[in-house]
Structure 1
Amino acid sequence: MARRVGVVGYGHLGQYLVSEIEKRDDIQLAFVWNRTLDSLKGKVPEEKILKDLNDFKDCHADLIVEVAHPDISIQYGSLFLSHADYMIGSPTALADISLESALRGAASGHGLYVPSGAFWGGEDIKKMADRGTLQALKVTMTKHPAAFKLSGKLKDINDTVTDTPVTLYEGSVRDLCPLAPNNVNTMAAAALAAHNLGFDKVQGLLVSDPSLRDWHVVEVELWGPGDIAADRAFHCRTVKRNPATFGAVSGTATYASFLSSLLAAHGKGPGVHLC
């Protein structure tokens, strides 16, 4: 029997997911909700448009996928988990300690799924965290200034970038997430995979590079067993160049990765799961 999927959000990623779901036989569309309902008319079958998100349970979704904004998890995350599995497309929301605790508690009957997105090597990092051998993790994300949606001091710095790369932020992922909630979901996924370090100890570096018009670059660097100070510890560094439309928040390859995560988001039972 095909799983029923509800999609919350109809931006570029939401549109892609709805289109792909409708092509498949193993999953079917339960509902689509968007803050601006007019954007759904003529694009989504009328009977699949959910006008009031509070009525989501009437659609009997097996999996609800958020691709809208971190605020959705704040308002509805626990409610979603009381009726269905929930895939959180904006895991930066979990940098809020109280929300992470609430959703972990709510995931007692259904699964809370975290998509890997642009994060590379998540399962391997989680295995090291499970064994307690992961000592440090740093994620560097470099994008064109136009690809950032920032707030506060980071926005002010990014607005001054002209012709040379500028470091916008370097420090804990927890402090970064509220300042760049749309841009650093990759880092949030890393902090969840590296659960023995968490949001406070996983380090994030955000770079605005005006020469990077067609790519997003994500570098993941980790240290495992051994003596880091003496440079005798296990060390791995990966660099991924993700093609991206100019000014886009997400790279092109992230869309297909997200669909793969959606298809994998089932059958793992209660708790928090990478997918």
Structure 2
Amino acid sequence: MVRRVGIIGYGYLGQYLVQQINSRSDMELVFVWNRTVSALKESDQIRPDQILEDLSDFEKYQADLIVEVAHPSITQKYGPGILQSTDFMIGSPTALADAELEAALRSAATDHGLYIPSGAFWGGEDIKKMADRGTLQALKVTMTKHPSSFKLSGELKVKNDQVKDTRTVLYDGPVRELCPLAPNNVNTMAAAALAAHNLGFDKVNGSIVADPELRDWHIVEVDVWGPGDLSTGSAFHCKTIRSNPAKVGHVTGSATYASFLSSLLAAKDKGPGIHLC
């Protein structure tokens, strides 16, 4: 069965997904929405009838899956409505750091699935299994990038702009507080907080580090603590380090594109509720 897919956002990742969908026989591109419509009209990958100018009209395209790769504000405004009509995959899960929005999405996902791509988050299924059993005690995600690869706001932007020659920790604390300040950079951490549901956004720790010497990579470290005595250092501990090739100034590493496509292919047939894919 051919799946009808709508794409929200036409940046680097959106362009990649459109190209991949068009190259496959098991999926059909039914619409693309972008804040700048001219980018869609100039694309040789999108037909005029596939350009959605008013996102409120998404229902008329009868998509089986709608994929957001634009900005967390899209999910805030349209997420619950989309879930009432079809499956929804959000590429900006930092939106769920808003507790009210997360509750609204869970409430809306009674007939369709809300899919969270794992992206650069390694080991998500194993972490979720530990959370399901209640044995997950702590989780920390550390992301290290060149300063130009961070898109930040508020005090974090000021701090990042001051980084010149020295590796600098910009933030270390709860993921919930970090998401609004770095909505384009810490989707990996948001996915981690959703997988580690017994800890959530308030107890999963996130750290972002600006390293001027790190020019060709994005580094993601995931530290997991499970059964045992955490206070004495005798609890189960697993650490993974993911080195993702990335161009200076790019928010998304190159390997994340393929990972996101794999998530898109897996975002089906899981029923209502929230699913990591």
Match for 1:191 among 193, 196, 210?
Answer: 193
Q: Which residue of 1 aligns with 2:15?
A: 15
* Counterparts of 1:46 and 1:19, CA distance in 2: 16
Q: How does 1:143-162 map to 2 (within 5 A)?
A: 143-162=145-164
- In the alignment, is residue 25 of structure 1 matched against residue 25 of structure 2? yes
Q: How does 1:33-112 map to 2 (within 5 A)?
A: 33-43=33-43, 44-112=46-114
Structure 2 alignment gaps of length 5 or more: none
Deviation at residue 176 of structure 1 after TM alignment: 0.3
TM-score by length of structure 1 reads 0.99
Query: Identity over aligned residues, as a percent?
Result: 69
Displacement over 6 Å in runs of 4+? none
Q: Deviations over 1:67-92 (max 9, x none)?
A: 00000001000111011100010000
Q: How does 1:206-221 map to 2 (within 5 A)?
A: 206-221=208-223
Match for 1:131 among 130, 133, 139?
Answer: 133
Secondary structure of 1:40's partner? helix
* Counterparts of 2:47 and 2:227, CA distance in 1: 53
Q: Which residue of 1 aligns with 2:165?
A: 163
Q: Deviations over 1:10-50 (max 9, x none)?
A: 00000000000000011110100001000011311111111
Q: Deviations over 1:152-189 (max 9, x none)?
A: 00000000000110000000000000000000000000
- In the alignment, is residue 180 of structure 1 matched against residue 187 of structure 2? no
Matched residue count: 275
Match for 1:260 among 256, 259, 262?
Answer: 262
TM-score by length of structure 2 reads 0.99
Q: Which residue of 2 aligns with 1:140?
A: 142
Match for 1:170: what amino acid? D
Structure 1 alignment gaps of length 5 or more: none
Deviation at residue 113 of structure 1 after TM alignment: 0.2
* Counterparts of 2:198 and 2:230, CA distance in 1: 17
* Counterparts of 2:248 and 2:265, CA distance in 1: 28
- In the alignment, is residue 5 of structure 1 matched against residue 10 of structure 2? no
* Counterparts of 1:133 and 1:100, CA distance in 2: 24
* Counterparts of 2:55 and 2:99, CA distance in 1: 25
Secondary structure of 1:142's partner? strand
* Counterparts of 1:246 and 1:145, CA distance in 2: 9
Deviation at residue 237 of structure 1 after TM alignment: 0.3
Deviation at residue 230 of structure 1 after TM alignment: 1.3
Secondary structure of 1:177's partner? helix
Match for 1:216: what amino acid? H
